[in-house]
A and B are shown apart, each in its own frame.
Chain A
Amino acid sequence: MDSEKEQYEKLRLADLAFFGRIMANISHEFNNVITIIGELSGLLQDLSVLAEQGKPIKADKLKKVTENITRHIARGKELISNMNQLSHSVDEQRKEVKLQDIISNMKILTKRLLERKLTQLSWQPTKDDIRITTDPFAIRHALFACLELAMMASSSAPALSMRIQQRQETIDIIISNSNADSSLEDEKILQELLLSVNRLGGTVSQERNDKGAQIKLNIPKHLEISR
């Protein structure tokens, strides 16, 4: 059995690794946004040079390029806003949050990571707001570990879906992979997940059947003490 100090050190390293992976992914994505805006502004310069040489810029071309710039600025803004949400999730260890916002935040932050593994993630948002009092950082970390585990159960093109089930005192977050061909067994990620779930005062279970693989995260709606 690990001592409390060892557990704390493992958790700290796992948290840092999670944060680092997300930041590396987002910085790459953000660099793509800057690069595209740079190319679009370069194209406007090219067209301006041609206009000076007597080849006028067509209005619809100008409109299309500027619309694209606006779209990618919005994409960059969305990335920054979501990165900011993750960064501030460490501010309080216990806070009332809207579960849908947390899931949406993680969906945006992991989009490129999932795409690189050709992963489809479907998520049917619930009609009603689900408000829970939890550790905002630990729940993100746990969701990320669940997504990674579920993804690793496929040798190609994971097909993930996420849904929420409300119980009296707890919430189930269920992540399924309908294209799984192996178990959810990565020891390092499992350990990371257990550490996060422990902070949330919850439990995690997994199931493998002929329809695929499934991870169920059960967490209290109201985290009682600050951990």
Chain B
Amino acid sequence: MATAKVLLVDDEKDFTATLSERLELRDLEVSIASNGPEAIELANKHKFDAVILDLQMPGMDGIETLKILMEKDADMQVIILSGHATVSKSVEAIKAGATEFLEKPVDIQVLTDKIDTAAVQRFVLLEKRSAEAIDDILKRKGW
């Protein structure tokens, strides 16, 4: 598979700058957004294999951002990376479509493993959608 594309969303600029550098050293392609609207704009323009999303951000919070991202792309693989890993927040995030819920600080190996899994999962889902679309076309044509 090609280099995984990751969107990192967090309002702590030193955190995103440092974590993105570490992920890039591990051959991942990283884009950064410092708030929900920026993340949505980037996700509209580019395809990401995984989104790493903080929950507490100024203005639009992580759950709201997650819901909008999932509305636009139901196959989006969103990993929540939060300083506040409460059970209720985890449940809320998973219900809204998040694939993983990790607590800060996170071990880089754990995070990259989750990104790899998310990228594979997204690839499988996209393949499945393509196959379904082809099947649909063939059926409509009566082939």
What is the interface of chain A, defined by CB distance below 8 A to chain B?
Answer: 28, 31-32, 34-36, 38-40, 42-43, 46, 50, 68, 72, 115-118
Contact = CB atoms under 8 A, between A and B. Distances in A.
Contacts of A72: 14
Contacts of A116: 56-59, 61
B83 A39 contact: no
A36 B18 contact: yes
A42 B11 CA distance: 20
Given A39-B105, A116-B58, 8 more contacts: A28-B83, A31-B105, A32-B12, A35-B12, A36-B14, A46-B25, A115-B11, A116-B61
B19 interface: yes
Given A31-B83, A34-B105, A39 B56 contact: no
User: Interface SS of chain B: helix, strand, loop or mixed?
Assistant: loop
A68 B14 contact: yes
Chain A binding site: helix, strand, loop or mixed by DSSP?
A: helix
A117 B61 CA distance: 10
Contacts of B11: 115
A43 B22 contact: yes
A40 B83 CA distance: 17
A118 B58 contact: yes
Interface string B59-87: 10100000000000000000000011000
A118 B104 contact: no
A117 B105 CA distance: 24
- How extensive is the interface on chain B, given as a class? 10 to 19
B19 A39 contact: yes
A32 to B, nearest CB: 5
Nearest to A61: B21
Contact of A35 (B15, B25, B58, B59): B15
A42 B25 CA distance: 12
Contact of B15 (A32, A50, A118): A32
Nearest to A68: B14
Contact of B18 (A32, A40, A115): A40
B134 interface: no
A43 B83 CA distance: 20
A39 B21 CA distance: 10
Interface in B5-32: 11-12, 14-15, 18-19, 21-22, 25
B108 interface: yes
Nearest to A117: B58
